[in-house]
Amino acid sequence: MKGITLLLHSFYILLLVLGVLRSSSAENDSNEDVNGKQVYIVYMGAADSTSPSLRNDHAQLLNAVLKRNDKALVRNYKYGFSGFAARLSKDEANSIIQKPGVVSVFPDPILKLHTTRSWDFLKYQTHVKIDANPNTLSNSSTSSDVVLGILDTGIWPEAASFNDEGMSAIPSHWKGTCMKSQDFNSSNCNRKLIGARFYTDPNGDDEGDNTPRDSIGHGTHVASTAVGTAVTNASYYGLAAGNAKGGSSESRLAVYRVCSNFGCRGSAILGAFDDAIADGVDVLSLSLGASPGFRPDLTTDPIAIGSFHAVERGIVVACSAGNSGPNSYTVVNDAPWILTVAASTIDRDFQSNTVLGDNKTIMGRAINFSPLSNSAEYPIIYSESAKASSSSLTEARQCHSDSLDANKVKGKIVVCDGRDDGEYSTSDKIDTVKAVGGIGLVHITDENGAIASYYGDFPATVISSKDSATILQYINSSNNPIATILPTTTVLDYKPAPLVPNFSSRGPSTLSSNILKPDIAAPGVNILAAWIGNGVDEVPKRRKPSLYNIISGTSMACPHVSGLASSIKTQNPTWSASAIKSAIMTTAIQSDNMKTPITTDSGSVATPYDFGAGEMTTSESLQPGLVYETNTIDYLNFLCYIGLDITTIKVISRTVPDNFSCPKDSSSDLISNINYPSIAVNFTGKSVVNVSRTVTNVGEEDETAYSPVVEAPSGVKITLTPNKLQFTKSSKRLSYQVIFSSTLTSLKEDLFGSITWSNGKYMVRSPFVLTK
C-alpha cells in the first residue's frame, strides 16, 4: 500500500470500511503510556438543562481526577450531555464507575469511516409523474437557515461545491465557529460553510491533522453530496460528466473533523456531538461507525450516546449502516433514535469491456484508463495455462502471488479466475500479472457486485461468472487468441436500478429484533462528488489531480438521506426529528426502474433487512400525509425494555417526567409498541400479537379519511382496528391497533409484509417483519 490516500478510491475505501486494511481500527485502542494509563470516556448522562456550566457531580468528579494529575483531562462534555475524557489507569476507571451520577466508563474506541446523477435518478424514482427536465441545473439563489453538521474527515473549503454565491446572511441562531490552524482560518468559511471544528488526538498520533482541512477526501465528498452548491461540468477525468449538486444546496454546512488517518476516536465524536448541539445544527450526518464484531452497548457507544442527546433536542441524526454485508446481523448504528442508512445503486454504470478476436464483446465493470488499442490485437491467455512450476493449478488459476510463469505471460492479457477466492482482490491480481510482464487483466468474479473499482492506467476489468464461458471458450478454441480491454465508458439509464449492493450491511439488528433496521436505502455505489485539491496518488498519466472522485459505501448513502432531511426541515421547520424520519421512511419505494421489485446484487428480491422501508424518494417525503412521531418517552421506554433501571435512565435523559417509571413487566417484546414507522414483532411461541401505532395528519386537508392496504405473508392474518382513520380539525392524531394472527405452528423463517394507509393522495407505508 502506498499510503492512506490510496484507500480512498472506490476499491480501497471499501477495504478500509470493511476492516481489511486495519484489523484493529474499530476496537478499543489501549495506547497505554509508561504509567499504564490510557484515555477513558466517562459518560454522566444529561447536562444541566438550565446552564452550560458543569453539573455539580460532574465538576466534583472531574476535580478529583485533575487533583491526582493535572494533565489527565483530554476533553470535557457539558453542553449536550455531561462527562469527560481523561487519561486514567484501569483501577482509576473502575473506581470512577462506582461514583454517583456515572452511567459508564469505557476506553476511547477508534471507529471507522464506513455523487452527480444520483439526485436526478432519485427524482424519477417516485410514485407520481414528474415532468421536469432532468438535465436542468437547479441552483436557486434562495437560502435556508437549516444547518447540516457533518462528523467526518474535515473539509476542502476551496471546492466549488461550497461556494456561497447568492446565499443570505448566516442564520442568527448559529453559535458555532471556524477554528484556526496552520492551513485554515476564518476566511475559509463563508455563508455556505459556516462552521469548522477539529479535535486533537489525545495521544498525539495525528499531530499533522490538527486542522478542519480535509487531507483524506472522505469528508469533502459526503459534504458536497449532502448540501453542495450546484456546479456545472463536473466529472472524474471525463467519467460521470454532468452537473454536480447536493440534495439540499440551499442549506448551510458545519463540519466537525473527528477522523484522521488513524480512524475516528470516540472521544472526538462525543466532543463533536456536544459542540454541534450547542452550535445550533438542525441535522447531523455520520458516515462512520463500529464493525459488527465490535458492538458496544448503548451506554458505551459514542454514536448512540451522542445521537440520543441530539435527537432529544430535535436534531435529526442520520448514520451509515456499515459495509459488512451481505451477511445478516451486520447493521450498525441501529439505535432507534438514529436514521440508519443502507446503500443502493443508481442507473449509471462504468463499463470497461473486453473485445475478443472473434468480434465478441464481453461486458466488464471497472474504472480504468486503458492505453490499449480499441482493436483486438493483444495475445490473451487463461492464467491456469501460465502456471509457474512451483505453484498449483488453483493458485495459477486464481493468480496468486508468484503463481505465474513470466515466459508465458509477458506481453499478454491474462484471464484470472476469482471464483471461490476470497483471499486475493482484483488489485492483488493486477500486482501478480504486472510482476511477470502481463499487460492487462480480466478478472472473473461476482464479489465486486455493482461496484466499479478503480485500477488507474492498467487495463483491468471485472466480468461476471456467467460471462466467463464465452471468453474461456474462445481462448480454448483458438490457436492464436487475441483481445483488448477498452477504457471505461459511462453508461446511463442502466437497468435494473436501484439494486442493493453486496457490501451494504444487513439486518436484523443485534440490538433488538423488535426494531427493524436498517431504516432506508439511498445511493451509495460509484458516487461522484467533490474531492480534495491536492491529491497526488492514483492520478492517471499526463493528468492533473481531479477535483472530484467516484467512491462507494454506505458512507456515500448517508449524506443523501441527511441532505433530504435538511430539505424537509427547510420546508417544514416546525417538524420534529422523528416526523422527518417518518416522512423519509413511509414514502420510500420498493420497485426499480423496470417497475419490478428491487433486488440485491445476487438477484434475490430485497427485503427490509436489506433496504429497510425501501429506496428514499425526494418528492413525496416533503409531503408525506401522515407521520409517526417517536417521542422521548418512547425512547425512555425502550431503555427500560432493554434492561436499564430507572435510576440510570434519569441520569441519561434531561426530560424524564417526575412520574415516569419503567413498567413492572418490562420486556423486549414491548419494544414493538414504540411508535416507530416500521414494525418488528418477535413471534416465537406466540399465535397472536397486538401492536399499536399513532399517526399525525400533516397533510393539506384537515378533513380526510385514510383506508388501509395490507400485504400479508402466507399463513398470517392482519386485522386493523379501526379499519379507517377519519381525521378532522380537532382530531389530527389517531391511533390504531395491528393484530397479527398466525395459523402456522412455527415460523421457519422471518416473514415480511406491509401496511399502507392512503386517502387517494398520499400513501403512507410501514413495512413489518415477524421474527422466528
Q: What is the CA radius of gyration of the chain?
A: 27
Residue with C-alpha cell 509477458?
Answer: 410
Residue 318 phi, psi (nearest 5): -110, 135
**Catalytic residue flag (residue 152):** yes
Phi-psi region of 512 (alpha: psi -120 to 50; beta: other; left: phi over 0): beta
**Sign, CA torsion 527/293/21/450:** negative
Is it true that the peptide bond before 496 is cis, omega within 30 degrees of 0? yes
Q: How far apart are CA 214 and CA 707, in angstroms?
A: 50
Cα 560 to Cα 118: distance, rounded to the nearest angstrom: 9
615 - beta bridge partners? 521, 589
Q: Which of 9, 218, 221, 443 is catalytic?
A: 218
Cα–Cα distance list, 689 to 557, 671, 693, 719 (Å): 34, 13, 13, 11
Residue 287 has a CB neighbour count (10 Å cut-off) of 35
Q: What is the C-alpha separation between 202 and 207, in angstroms, rounded?
A: 10
Cα 587 from Cα 758, distance rounded (Å): 11
Distance (Å) of CA 175 to CA 28, 111, 146, 462, 597 = 33, 28, 13, 50, 46
Cα–chain-centroid distance for residue 505? Answer: 9
Residue 180 CB neighbours (<10 A): 14
Please say if 287 is a catalytic residue.
no
Q: In what order do the strands lie in the sheet with 716-721?
A: 626-627, 688-697, 733-742, 716-721
Q: Which three cell numbers stand for residue 47?
A: 447536562
Residue 596 phi/psi, 5° resolution?
-115, 165
Check residue 112 and report its DSSP letter.
E
Tell me if residue 127 is catalytic: no
- Residue 105's DSSP bridge partners are 42
DSSP class of 127:
S
Positive or negative: CA dihedral 680, 684, 687, 691: negative
Contact between 72 and 678 under an 8 Å Cβ cutoff? The reply is no
Instruction: Report CA-CA distances (Å) from 520 to 343, 588, 620, 772.
Output: 9, 8, 14, 23
Residues 6+ apart with CB under 8 A from 203: 31, 39
Torsional sign, CA 649, 651, 656, 661: positive
Contact indicator for 368, 487 with CB cutoff of 8 Å? yes
Out of 215, 513, 555, 621, pick the active-site residue.
Answer: 555
Which residue among the candidates 29, 120, 145, 152 is catalytic per the annotation?
A: 152
Residues designated as active site: 152, 218, 555
